[in-house]
C-alpha cells in the first residue's frame, strides 16, 4: 500500500527565516507529485508539480521553490519567509494518466510570525 | 485554462435535510474527470467520489453526483445530512493537462446543525 509522509507536522517560523518542508511517498514507483497551499479556510492553490526526478514545474511560485531530489521525495523551500506564507501545505501524489486522483498527505501547518 | 465554479461558499442546514452543492466547470478537454473531495477540520482533503462517464450517477458514503457534459455540471447531493457531514467540500477537474494535477473550485463549507 502507498503511504505519504510529510514533515514537519507544524512549524512556527520568523519572517525572513528559511524554510524547508518535505514529503516522501513509499510503495509507488515514479508517482506524479504535487505541492498545494491552503490559506486558513481558503481554497487549494497548486504551487508545483513534478512528473519525474529532477524536473519541477511551477504553477504559482509565491516566492517558494521546489525540488525533487529522489523519485520518492519532494521538497518545498524558501530562503526568506513572508507573513503571507502562513497556511497549510499539502503534498499529494497521483498515478500517471488522465484519471489523476490525488492522494494527499497529512499536511504541514506553517505559522510565520 | 481549466476552471471550476462552486457557487455556494457556505451552506448551513439542519440534520436530516437534503443537501446539494453546485459545481460547474470549463475545459476544452472533451473527456474530463470530475471529483469531489471532502476536508474535515484539521485534516487533509480526501476523495469522496469521481466520475468521467456522462449521465451516469456515482455514489459513495450516501453522497451521489452525476456528470452532465451538456451543462458542464457535477453537483453533489445527499438525501439526508448528518452532523458528521460538516466539512469543506471541493469540486475538482482533471482536464487537458492531466500531468499538472487537479484544478479545484473555491470550496463550499457545509455546517450541519442538530
A62 interfacial to chain B (CB closer than 8 Å)? no
Cα→Cα distances A44→A72, A100, B23, B43, B67, Å? 23, 16, 16, 13, 22
Report d(CA B2, CA B31) in Å as an integer.
13
Cell 504553477 maps to which residue?
A: A59
Name every chain A residue with its beta carbon within 8 A of the beta carbon of B35.
Answer: 101-102
Position A98 scores a pLDDT of 53
pLDDT in tens, chain B (114 residues): 889 999 999 999 999 999 999 999 999 988 899 999 999 998 999 999 999 999 999 999 999 999 999 999 999 999 999 999 999 999 999 876 767 788 899 999 999 999
Regions of chain A where pLDDT drops below 50: none
Are B67 and B19 contacting, i.e. CB atoms less than 8 angstroms apart?
no
Instruction: Quote the pLDDT of residue A83.
Output: 95
- pLDDT given at position A9: 96
What does the pLDDT read at residue A1? 78
Would you call B12 helix, strand, or coil by DSSP?
strand
Chain B partners of A44 at a C-beta cutoff of 8 Å? 45, 90, 104, 107
Q: Which residues of B touch A98 (CB under 8 A)?
A: 31, 33, 52, 94, 98
- Interchain contact, A104 vs B98, CB within 8 Å: no
Q: How many CB atoms lie within 10 A of CB B103?
A: 22
Closest-CA residue of A relative to B51 is A99
Q: What is the pLDDT of residue B75?
A: 98
Q: Which structural domains are found in chain B, ordered by start?
A: 3-113 (2.60.40.10)
Residue whose cell numbers read 471529483: B35
Which CATH number is A3-112's, of 2.60.120.260, 2.60.40.10, 2.60.40.650, 3.30.70.260? 2.60.40.10
Q: What is the CB-side half-sphere exposure of residue A37 using CA atoms within 13 A?
A: 21
Q: What is the pLDDT of residue B85?
A: 97
Dist. CA B114–CA B109, nearest whole Å: 17
Q: What is the mean pLDDT of chain B?
A: 94
Q: What is the pLDDT of residue B30?
A: 87
B42-69 pLDDT per residue, tens? 899 999 999 999 999 999 999 999 999 9
Three cell numbers written together for A46: 497548486
- Per-residue pLDDT at A97: 60
Instruction: Reduce the DSSP state of residue B15 to 3 states and report it.
Output: coil
CA–CA distance, B38 with B113 (Å, rounded to integer): 18
Find residues 29-58 of chain B whose CB sits inside 8 Å of chain A: 31, 33, 35, 37, 43-47, 50, 52
Report helix, strand or coil for B39.
strand
Does residue B95 belong to the interface with chain A, where contact is any CB pair within 8 Å? no
Amino acid at each position: 500500500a502507498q503511504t505519504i509522509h510529510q514533515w514537519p507536522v507544524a512549524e512556527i517560523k520568523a519572517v525572513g527565516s528559511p524554510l524547508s518542508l518535505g514529503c516522501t511517498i513509499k510503495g509507488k514507483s515514479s508517482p506524479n507529485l504535487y505541492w498545494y497551499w491552503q490559506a486558513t479556510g481558503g481554497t487549494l492553490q497548486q504551487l508545483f508539480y513534478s512528473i519525474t526526478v529532477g524536473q519541477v514545474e511551477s504553477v504559482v511560485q509565491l516566492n517558494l521553490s521546489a525540488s525533487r531530489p529522489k523519485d520518492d521525495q519532494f521538497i518545498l523551500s524558501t530562503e526568506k519567509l513572508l507573513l503571507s506564507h502562513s497556511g497549510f501545505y499539502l503534498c499529494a501524489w497521483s498515478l500517471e494518466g488522465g484519471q489523476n486522483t490525488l492522494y494527499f498527505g497529512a499536511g504541514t501547518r506553517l505559522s510565520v510570525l | 485554462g481549466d476552471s471550476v465554479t462552486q457557487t455556494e461558499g457556505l451552506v448551513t442546514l439542519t440534520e436530516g435535510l437534503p443537501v446539494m452543492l453546485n459545481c460547474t466547470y470549463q475545459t476544452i478537454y472533451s473527456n474530463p474527470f470530475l471529483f469531489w473531495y471532502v476536508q474535515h477540520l484539521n485534516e487533509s482533503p480526501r476523495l469522496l467520489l469521481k466520475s468521467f462517464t456522462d449521465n451516469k450517477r456515482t455514489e459513495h458514503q450516501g453522497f451521489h453526483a452525476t456528470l452532465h457534459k451538456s451543462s458542464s455540471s457535477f453537483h453533489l447531493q445527499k438525501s439526508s445530512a448528518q452532523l458528521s457531514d460538516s466539512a469543506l467540500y471541493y469540486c475538482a477537474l482533471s482536464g487537458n493537462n492531466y500531468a499538472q494535477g487537479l484544478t479545484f473550485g473555491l470550496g463550499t463549507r457545509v455546517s450541519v446543525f442538530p
